[in-house]
């Protein structure tokens, strides 16, 4: 069995080798030629697993070490018998910590009203954290039948944070969920946080002059790794898609990919050995401001900054 793995999935090397041939590739090296003879792919968001990549291959299993899976053409995979899986909830605690660091950095009052849009693994933790801080929490997740309408959140919330997948069609699309019409309904001084997926926030709408009083905090960007420099300048806090980049989140994602692959190929259960993990200390308050300064100093190095980011 041949498994191709993204070279940046941490702690993976040496675990599967007793059971399969492993080849570790840079994200850009996943091509129709390199995947042709592979049985399984272990990827991250930079590898687009679609017909163009998979059509001439024997791939039967794709796992992404990320919560998001819009880089996987799930319809194509399902139509062609390719099992796919993501890593839901793997970095939920990390994203929650990111949102809390935003609240600290912006010195938002404890009695502020926060709207949480998307109440899955991440949104549920964010809501609980905000309640612990004494904030009034408004929830919105129509697919789950949860919460209040977006119009009410726009009208009442001091802070709105998005934690949805990027869905482009269907009954509950989230692409440009925060569009010009939604932003127009928000309070003039609202804080909007996008640590979900690039495209949930309509960046062109955010740049309109009538929204100049609003505060934008952006971790996930439309078109990344190429940034809209005007949006970078407009954002109050900016980071390079690392809200969920924590040591535990990365371990969780690797273990979830391993578990799914082992189930699919009837291998014995495998996981990252505890003695392989480095010693770890949580960063002090102020780490997000340091990340913000880094990105502004090197906006063309988005992917390099992300790949070399020291896990929190």
Residues tagged active-site: 197, 224, 241
R_g of the chain computed on alpha carbons: 20
Helices 92-105, 287-297: axis angle to 10 degrees equals: 90
Instruction: Please classify residue 179 by burial: count the beta carbons closer than 10 Å to its beta carbon, then call 0-12 exposed, 13-18 middle and 19+ buried.
Output: middle
**Rounded-to-integer distance, Cα 177 and Cα 200, Å:** 5
Q: In degrees rounded to 5, what are phi and psi of residue 25?
A: -120, 150
Among 154, 150, 161, 175, smallest CA distance to 122 is for: 161
**Rounded (10°) CA dihedral 85, 90, 94, 96:** 80
How many CB atoms sit inside 10 A of residue 77's CB? 20
Q: In degrees rounded to 5, what are phi and psi of residue 191?
A: -105, 125
For the chain, give the longest Cα–Cα distance.
60
Among 312, 167, 191, 162, smallest CA distance to 242 is for: 312
């Amino acid at each position: 069995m041949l498994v191709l793995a993204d070279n940046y999935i941490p702690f993976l090397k040496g675990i599967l080798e007793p059971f399969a041939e492993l080849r570790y590739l840079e994200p850009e090296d996943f091509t129709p030629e390199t995947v042709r003879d592979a049985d399984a792919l272990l990827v991250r968001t930079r590898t687009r697993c679609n017909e163009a990549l998979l059509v001439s291959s024997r791939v039967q299993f794709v796992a992404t070490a990320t919560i998001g899976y819009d880089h996987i053409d799930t319809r194509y995979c399902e139509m062609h018998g390719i099992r796919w899986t993501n890593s839901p909830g793997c970095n939920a605690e990390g994203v929650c910590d990111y949102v809390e660091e935003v609240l600290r950095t912006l010195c938002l009052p404890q009695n502020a009203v926060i709207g949480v849009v998307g109440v899955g693994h991440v949104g549920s933790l964010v809501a609980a954290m905000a309640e612990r801080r004494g904030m009034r929490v408004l929830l919105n997740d129509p697919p789950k039948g949860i919460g209040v309408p977006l119009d009410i959140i726009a009208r009442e919330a001091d802070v709105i944070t998005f934690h949805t997948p990027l869905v482009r069609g269907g009954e509950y699309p989230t692409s440009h969920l925060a569009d010009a019409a939604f932003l127009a309904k928000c309070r003039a001084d609202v804080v909007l946080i996008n640590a979900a997926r690039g495209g949930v926030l309509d960046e062109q709408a955010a740049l309109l002059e009538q929204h100049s009083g609003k505060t934008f905090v952006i971790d996930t960007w439309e078109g990344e790794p190429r940034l809209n420099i005007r949006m970078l300048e407009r954002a109050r806090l900016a980071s390079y898609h690392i809200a969920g980049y924590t040591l535990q989140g990365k371990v969780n994602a690797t273990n979830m990919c391993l578990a799914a692959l082992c189930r699919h190929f009837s291998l014995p259960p495998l996981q990252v050995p505890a003695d392989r993990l480095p010693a770890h200390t949580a960063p002090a308050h102020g780490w997000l401001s340091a990340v913000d300064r880094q990105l502004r100093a090197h906006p063309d190095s988005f992917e390099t900054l992300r790949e070399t980011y020291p896990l929190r």
